[in-house]
Amino acid sequence: MNLSCNLYVDGEFEGIIISKKEVNIGKNGHIKGDVTTQRLVVQGYIEGTINAARVEIKAAGRVNGTIESSELIIESKGIFEGKSVVKDASPTTISEKLQIKKS
């Protein structure tokens, strides 16, 4: 599914979602597949790979998979199982951090 508008899912969906705006998974929503969007709000359940600028996992939300995002917010009682990759972050080693502190 390729969209240029917001999407609200409060049922079951299996497949790939690409949205230029926001995808919101309602409390009864369940997505199995990959999601690419600007902003993802999870109140239900998603299993798959997420690529978004901002991901918000709400109190009843659950994510199982890989999240690649610039910003990840997990509210209290939100569940995330998987791998998180921070976009736009330059890798810094411990020795580089120590050298910065010494300067």
Q: Is the pLDDT of residue 95 over 60?
A: no
pTM of the predicted model as reported, rounded to 2 decimal places: 0.83
Rounded CA-CA distance 47/96 in Å is 36
pLDDT category at 88 given cuts 50, 70, 90 is confident
8-60 confidence digits (pLDDT tens): 999 999 999 999 999 999 999 999 999 999 999 999 999 999 999 999 999 99
- Residues near 22 by Cβ (< 8 Å), separated by ≥ 6? 6, 7, 37, 38, 39, 40, 41
| Residue-by-residue DSSP string for 37-50 | EEEEEESSEEEEEE
Q: Write down the H helix ranges in 1-103.
A: 94-102
pLDDT top residue among 27 and 87: 27
